[in-house]
Every structure is written in C-alpha cells, then in structure tokens.
Structure 1
C-alpha cells in the first residue's frame, strides 16, 4: 500500500502544473501543494522525484552530541 500520492494539477489561469502531495495516500485533501511552475505534468512529476531523492540521499549533517 502506498504511503504518499503525488499528483500533477494544471492551473487553468497559467497553463502550468503544480504538484499535490497527499499523505496518507488516500487522504481527501493534499498535505502539500506547490506553486504552478512546471510546463508539463511529466516535468512536475520528475522534479518531485528528484527533490525527494536528493533529500533522501543527502540527509542533513548530524548535530554534535553536546547540542542535542
């Protein structure tokens, strides 16, 4: 069962696409909605995957023990 759902949504005023991220995947309303900045649904999806991949592969540096 998927944990999140990512959907590109066209903005009728600009013709560009935004991304809506639903969590949990079966939620009725999106948890996150981006600005409509993408020229296509495919570009929006690919950028979202790239952002998630970059964040997952490059976690923030660990805080020193004396600052926790």
Structure 2
C-alpha cells in the first residue's frame, strides 16, 4: 500500500502545474501544495522523482554519539 500520493494539478490562471502531496495516500485533501511552476505534468513528475532520488542518495551525516 502506498504511503504518500503525489499528483500534478494544472493551475487554470497560469497554465502551469503544481504538485499536491497527500499523506496518507488516501487522504481527501493534500498535506502540501506547491506553487504552480512546472510547464507540464511530466516535468512536475520528473522533478519530484529527481528531488526524492537526490535526498535518498544523500542522507544527512550521522550525528556523533556524544551528541545523541
């Protein structure tokens, strides 16, 4: 079962796409809505994948044991 749902939505005023992020995936309303900055739904989806990939492949440095 998916934990989150991400959907591109077109802004009628600008013609650009925003992202709506739903958590949990079956939520009725988005938890986060971005500004409409993408030229297409595909561009929005590709950028989302790139952002998630970059974050997953570059975790923050581990905190030293003395600070835990």
TM-score bracket, shorter-length normalisation: over 0.9
- Consecutive unaligned residues of structure 1, counting only runs of 5 or more, are none
Alignment length, in residue pairs?
A: 68
- Alignment RMSD: 0.8
Alignment match, 1:18: 18
Over 2 Å off, 4+ runs:
none
- Name the TM-score, length of structure 2 as normaliser: 0.93
Query: Per-residue CA shift, 1:26-66, capped at 9, x if unaligned?
Result: 00111111110000000001100111111111110111122
Alignment match, 2:45: 45
